[in-house]
Amino acid sequence: MTALSDIKAISFDVDGTLWDFEDALARGLEAALREVRLIDPEGTEGLTVDHLDQAWVVERDRQWGTITDLVKLRHDAMRRAFADIDTPDNHLANRATGAYLEERNRNSRPFADVVPGLEWLHGSYTLGTLTNGSMRPERLGLEKFFDFIVMSVEHGGIEKPDPRIFEIAVREARCEPHELLHVGDHIEYDVRGANDAGVKSVWLNRTGERSSSGVRPDLEVTCLSELADSLLGIKTH
pLDDT, one tens digit per residue, over 38-77 is 999 998 998 999 999 999 999 999 999 999 999 999 999 9
Could you say which DSSP state residue 210 is in?
Answer: P
**Strands, DSSP E only, in 118-207?**
126-131, 148-151, 180-184, 200-204
Q: What is the model's pLDDT at position 213?
A: 81
Residue-wise pLDDT for 165-218, tens only, equals 999 999 999 999 999 999 999 999 999 999 999 999 999 999 888 877 889 999
Count of CB atoms situated within 10 Å of the CB of 224: 27
Is 236 a residue whose pLDDT tops 60?
no
- Beta-carbon contacts of residue 101 (< 8 Å; ≥ 6 apart): 28, 71, 74
Residue-wise pLDDT for 116-136, tens only, equals 999 999 989 999 999 999 999
Tell me the C-alpha distance between 99 and 46, whole Å. Answer: 19
Residue-wise pLDDT for 69-83, tens only, equals 999 999 999 999 999
Tell me the C-alpha distance between 75 and 125, whole Å. Answer: 38
Q: What is the model's pLDDT at position 201?
A: 98
Q: What is the model's pLDDT at position 235?
A: 60
